[in-house]
Amino acid sequence: MVRAGLTTERLIRAGAELADEVGFDQVTVSALARRFGVKVASLYSHLKSSQDLKTGIALFALEELADRVADAVAGRAGKDALAAFAAAYRDYAREHPGRYDAARLRLDPETAAASAGVRHAQMTRAILRGYDIAEPDQTHAVRMLGSVFHGYVSLEMSGGFSHTAVDPEQSWSWIVDSLDTLLRNRTTP
């Protein structure tokens, strides 16, 4: 009997692909075992549980998204950086809807603190350097940006914008523009 060559890494990667194909909530150890042509129980040498798999995919997605965003904002500042951040975020979600959903999984505090989620927050703060906003306004702004980006992407993904004929692309630009203006006016001397 030839071995399939399973590793935790490969399982999580395949789980991420599966998530994009069938939706994150349809990702199951059974489906993953089928995809590798092995029996379900075999995965338990590499995964502690189904929850463990999901958490793994979530961490993987957070990492990947953080990498993309970091790449996008590198060498940019101000509105440029804001737009690049926004685009990277939204593009990732559209390209990898399952992974994006995974990235939104509730993680327990320790796991979250050790995740790439921290980098996300740092990068958002980095964007704000171009706008001279001091604390505590800076934190307010970080939260607002996170909310808008996540909220928009989440609503768009769930089809919330399909009632109206207005192009979501236009709305996105309009919103990024508005946020830029807003942040420039919120500068603290």
User: Applying CB under 8 A, which residues contact its own copies?
Assistant: 104, 106, 109, 112-113, 117, 121, 135-137, 139-140, 143-144, 146-152, 154-155, 158-164, 166, 168, 170-171, 174-175, 178, 181-182, 185-186
Q: Give whole-number Cα distances, 171 to 22, 166, 184, in Å.
A: 28, 8, 20
Cβ distance to its own copies smaller for residue 15 or 117:
117
**45 interface partner picked from DNA, its own copies, none, CB below 5 to 8 A per type:** DNA
Residue 182, contacted partner among its own copies, DNA, none, CB below 5-8 A by kind: its own copies
Exposed / middle / buried, residue 15 (Cβ in 10 Å: 0-12, 13-18, 19+): buried
The CA distance from 10 to 16, in Å, is 10
- Pick the closest to residue 83 from 175, 186, 184, 185 (CA basis): 175
Nearest distance from C-beta of residue 155 to its own copies, angstroms = 6
Smallest distance, DNA to C-beta of residue 27, A: 8
CB of 114 to its own copies, least distance (A): 12
DSSP string, 158-179: TTTT-SS-S-HHHHHHHHHHHH
Which of 56, 61, 173 has the alpha carbon at shortest distance from 117?
A: 61
Residues that bind DNA (CB under 7 A): 1-6, 28-31, 37-42, 44-46, 48-51
Question: Residue 100 binds what, of its own copies, DNA, none (CB under 5 to 8 Å, by partner type)?
Answer: none
